[in-house]
Amino acid sequence: MQAPDTSPDRAFSRLQTALAALDQAMIELDEVQKKFDSVSSRIDTLLVNTAKSPSANLGANLRSLNARSEVLRKALDRARRNFASARKGYHQASQAYSSKHGQHADALGAARMDIADAERCKGAMSRSLLALFDTLSQGARDKGPGHGGPALDPARFLDLLIVLERTLSLDPDYDDPALRHRPVDFLEIGCGNGQNLALLNICDVLATDRITGIDTDAPLIASAKTAFGLEGQLAVADPMAHDYSGHDVIFCFRPFQNPEQMRQLETRLVASMRQSAYLIAVQPDDLSRFPELECVSGIHGIWKKTGGRNIPD
């Protein structure tokens, strides 16, 4: 069933048209009225002159003006009818616009309530997922190498994937004849308890051909493999020594709290990642210092390597 048209745009366009018609009718009425008044004034003057000094010439002029007056009177009647019709049309268009505007305001109010409800639902689902991940990973919090902060909100991670998927679908470097974008090789640095990769595996948002996570915490990696069935996707590895040239998308949620370590990691990462690869960096140190990176979305922390060249080990 098609939703009713609550947009006031069309009604406003009709209101503008009706107003223009009313303005034109007023102009025409004013012009005809002035002409009629001018002829009436001349007739009055002739009548006074004829009464004082009748003549054939004055009589002829009077008959001509009377004929002209009759023509203008009929034109004045038409102009008044047109004005009345235009005023009625404007009144109707004004009422229609007011009604549509009210409907639109109601629809916007309902949409805001729906968005608020969706945000509450989104928050509740995120909290539930975090609790579930925490339980499945036997209480191990999401910690990467040196990561002392909380786990990334699952809803935010999914938001980032959705924005990335839309970006890839518009990027010629990732064209695919059958899919919105070609499947990508996805890596997470500091994958911790594996919750992000578990979400990526099941959410069906991003087309992937390989999903990998690295972390320096061996017990956490072992727990994640068991809890989320990520055997074969996780590895204990040093992010400072990893070769990033084989990945299309690299996700990094500030695995080091130390600024100097983050700068070193970002330098290593940008130097070795392949041309056209994407980097999703949550709370980075400073990626703007790399001219070979193009900021695709500053709000979402999505960058693409568009310049420079890979530096081999």
Question: Does residue 230 sit in the same domain as residue 279?
Answer: yes
Over residues 192-240, the pLDDT tens digits come to: 889 999 999 999 999 999 999 999 999 989 988 988 889 999 999 999 9
Assigned domain for 138 exists: no
Q: Is residue 262 part of a domain?
A: yes
Q: How many helices (H) and strands (E) does the chain have?
A: 6, 7
Q: Does 166 share its domain with 90?
A: no
Determine, yes or no, domain membership for 313: no
Domain total for the chain?
A: 2
Where are the strands (E) in the chain, listed by range?
184-189, 208-215, 234-236, 249-253, 278-282, 293-297, 302-305
Torsion angle (degrees, nearest 10) of CA 280, 283, 289, 295: 40
Using DSSP bridges, classify how beta strands 302-305 and 278-282 pair: parallel, antiparallel or unpaired. antiparallel
Q: Mark whether 97 and 28 lie in a shared domain.
A: yes
pLDDT in the model for residue 221:
92
Segments of the chain scoring below 70 in pLDDT: 1-7, 136-150, 308-313
Summarised one tens digit per residue, pLDDT across range 18-40 is: 999 999 999 999 999 999 999 89
Ramachandran angles phi, psi of 244, nearest 5°? -95, 5
Pair (50, 184) in one structural domain: no
202 domain residue, yes or no: yes
Range of the domain at 13: 9-121
Domain harbouring 25, CATH code: 1.10.287.620
Residues 158 and 299 in one domain: yes
Residue 195 belongs to some domain of the structure:
yes
CA R_g for the chain:
38
DSSP string, 169-222: HT-GGG--SSSSS--EEEEEES-TTSHHHHHHHHH--S-EEEEEEEES-HHHHH
- Any domain includes 294: yes
Asked if the structure places residue 174 within a domain, the reply is yes
